[in-house]
Chains A and B, each alone.
Chain A
Amino acid sequence: MSRVVSFVRQPIVVALVLIVLLLYLGEALSPGFATGGQILRLLIVASLLGIVAAGQNVVILGGREGIDLSVGGVVSLSAILAGNVMNGADGGILPAVAACLAAGAFFGLLNGLGVTLLRIPPLVKTLGMLGVLQGLLVVIRMGIPSGQAAPALSRFVTQPLAYGIPGIIWLWIVIGILLALMLNRTVFGHRIYAIGSNEHAAYMAGVPVKLVRIALFMISGMFAATAGLCLLGYSGTSFANVGEQYMLPSIIAVVFGGTSLAGGKGGYTGTMAGAVLLVILQSILTTINIEESGRQMVFGATLLLLMMFYGRGRAMRA
């Protein structure tokens, strides 16, 4: 019996059950909500959030109050950068991918260096970086037009690629599998959990703590850049500060996936479910015909309610 209870209380199971319930609720509120096409559309939106959350996830797993607030800025920057590099031409996609990944890795590197060498708390360091990135956006937008997505990129994100499923969802699935393998089967993955649960012990055991942590921030920057690129394909053109809407939701997706903000515990599979859950919830709220104010109140209250299921802190004991 206790085994059943502990299975049901697993965050990923909770998230999956909630997803099914919300799909039923959505279908009841507006018939046609849970049809195949609609669910695919939801998954496209969820994959954008999920890819940002992948980077957020590894940074949080690495512990020491790991968090990356700069992802919002990197997503926006990458969308604008990609739009300018490819400028509507398919031939520009590869250079755009290279430029975005390089930019994401670069800002991740800066974050990582500040956090490890200067021991600036990640929240402070990435908050400051967010301000720099937002300033950079203004510089780029004023200087050159914001650019167009290449047709092939838009097709990849919005049109079916194989078995009726769009390329971005395949990409997300591949990322999910690769991250699961990386976290569970590789030395690097084990090192992430090691520094996340006890940095000092990991250091004593010979883990290059600083290098691993710098790598985590670079990975986060690169995932955010990838999401920015896909976001450009999704919306066709890049516009101001599109990435900001992913900053805190990416953290919530991680929490809903059962990863502890304290680090060292959790994984990406749950986060994927968390991202889907969050997107379905938002989508249901947009289908119901209520004022924006009511929608936000319901959204905030529901988030709090859902958090009751996840990672509540331990009660104080003497």
Chain B
Amino acid sequence: MAETATVPTYRRAGGIGRLLERYPFLPALVIVAALLLLNGFFSPNSLTFRALTGLLSTYMALILLAIAQTYVVYAGDIDLSAGAILSLVNVAIVVLMERWGGGAGAVFLALAIGLLLGLACGLVNGLVVAALRLQAIVATFATSIFFTGLALYILPVAGTPAPALFWRTYGGRLFGVPFVFYILAALVILLAVMSRTRLVTQLLAVGDDQQAAYQTGLPVIATRIKGYVLCGLFSALAAFCITGDTASGDPLVGGKMTLYSVAAVVLGGSALSGGWGTVVGSLLGALTIGLINSVVFFMGTPSEWQNFVQGLAILLVLMAGVLAGRRARS
């Protein structure tokens, strides 16, 4: 029989190729390390524990949003409403916490409702993209307009403060260790557990070849919906972090973050066409964006040139991310 002849052909890639194949986020890690060194070179103070904690607490929201985006990108989809979901959850929890008095009970209840809200938004996205078969880019742009409207309805102008209990915890320490490190540790464990779940494998299978996944009996529509739900949930977690960082509600806070989350996913070496990628890469990608901003600042770039240099650096690492990702897959 002809089929038996197709034994798996082993790659004759060199050492680098094999390393990239096993650890696809390696280029992102190298870039992050290089940027950290550059940061330290231009401003030794930026490598202190304190400065790194600050960097992490500022960019934790983008890290979570990039991870949210990764799960839909796994399946070959995209979510342009992730930032709007973040804004919506941000204003919802801030308003609820304030209304319920800002105690510990109020905070936990508000966070639970925030998660439910993220889940609901993700479900809406999943239904319009996977079940109604609308094109992901335009459909999630439409839902992002809707979610932003909802956020503006809850809080028309930015400014309602978050209760002190909430942001003091986020920015504070627990047993002498900054709280963000507990978040990071919990996140790493969560991602490790998630990466072993059937859902992630199914998402990747759907992204790799939707038709083949369908023909092997995978519930393609349900899987894509679950991807969007995961994205909504992680966007809600990102909203918690931005609320802790800014200590206030802002109905437009996430608008600019959506495209950065897509960029972070690409920086991490994941393929936007789906079927291939890592969440660790996206985490590093989000850090890369944060570190680029910080390097450009510490380099002493004139203020009017900062945005341009940041944009150029991000464009270059984006291209590097794509090329490295392709090398790993080839």
The proximity string for B residues 107-150 relative to A, scoring 1 for CB distances below 8 Å and 0 otherwise, is: 00000000000000000000010001111011101111111111
* The residue from A294, A313, A314 contacting B153, defined by CB atoms under 8 A apart: A294
Is residue B307 contacting chain A, with contact meaning CB distance below 8 A?
yes
Do A301 and B314 have beta carbons less than 8 Å apart? Answer: no
User: Would B314 and A128 count as touching, CB distance under 8 A?
Assistant: yes
- State whether A128 touches B319 (Cβ < 8 A): yes
Task: Give Cα A291 to B204, complex, Å.
Answer: 42
Q: What is the CA–CA distance of A131 and B314 in the complex, to the nearest angstrom?
A: 8
For B130, the closest partner residue in chain A by CB is: A313
Surface stretch bound by A, among B93-101, B175-183, B194-202, B210-218: B210-218
Interface residues of A: mostly helix, strand, loop or mixed?
helix
Distance of A83 Cα from B266 Cα, bound (Å): 36
Q: A114-B319, A255-B138, A300-B146 are in contact. Are A139 and B305 (CB under 8 A)?
A: yes
Verify A129–B315 contact, CB threshold 8 A: yes
From known contacts A297-B153, A318-B215, infer whether A303 and B132 are also in contact, taking CB-CB under 8 Å: no
Q: Which residue of B lies closest to A135 (CB)?
A: B308
Q: With A128-B315, A292-B156, A297-B150 in contact, is A252–B308 under 8 Å at CB?
A: no
Q: State whether B262 touches A295 (Cβ < 8 A).
A: no
CA distance A240 to B32 in the complex (A): 32
Q: A125 to B306, alpha carbons, bound, how many Å?
A: 20
Q: Which residues of B contact A142 (CB under 8 A)?
A: 303-304
CB pair B315 A131 closer than 8 Å: yes
Task: Give Cα A174 to B273, complex, Å.
Answer: 37
1/0 per residue, CB under 8 A from A, across B246-270: the answer is 0000000000000100110010000
Residues of B that sit less than 8 Å from A by CB: 78, 80, 128, 132-135, 137-139, 141-153, 156, 210-211, 214-215, 220-221, 259, 262-263, 266, 272-273, 303-312, 314-315, 318-319, 322-323, 326
Interface size grouping (class) on chain A: 35 or more
12 other A-B residue contacts (CB within 8 Å) besides A128-B318, A142-B303: A69-B259, A121-B272, A121-B322, A124-B322, A248-B141, A293-B153, A295-B149, A296-B152, A300-B145, A304-B128, A312-B132, A318-B214
Closest to A304 in B: B142
Interface of B is mostly: helix
B314: chain A residues within 8 A (beta carbon)? 128, 131
Tell me the bound Cα distance from A313 to B133 in angstroms: 5
Q: Which of A67, A137, A294, A308 contacts B149 (CB 8 A)?
A: A294
> Chain B contacts of A296 at CB under 8 A?
145-146, 148-149, 152
**Distance in angstroms between the alpha carbons of A143 and B262 in the assembled complex:** 31
Q: How far is the CA of A139 from the CA of B214 in the complex (A)?
A: 51
Separation of A144 and B219 alpha carbons in the complex (Å)? 58
The docked-state distance in angstroms from the alpha carbon of A255 to that of B220 is 24
A311 interface hit (Cβ, 8 Å): yes
Question: Can you report 11 A-B residue pairs in the complex whose CB atoms are below 8 A from each other?
Answer: A69-B259, A124-B322, A128-B311, A130-B311, A131-B314, A293-B153, A296-B149, A300-B146, A300-B147, A308-B132, A315-B133
| A 264-299 binary contact with B (CB < 8 Å = 1; else 0) | 000000000000000000000000000111111111
Given the complex, which residues of B lie within 8 Å of A294, measured CB to CB?
149, 153
In the complex, chain B residues whose CB is within 8 Å of the CB of A4:
none
Task: Assess whether A251 is interfacial by the CB under 8 Å rule.
Answer: yes
Q: A127-B318, A307-B138, A311-B135 are in contact. Are A132 and B80 (CB under 8 A)?
A: no
Q: A123-B272, A255-B138 are in contact. Are A293 and B311 (CB under 8 A)?
A: no
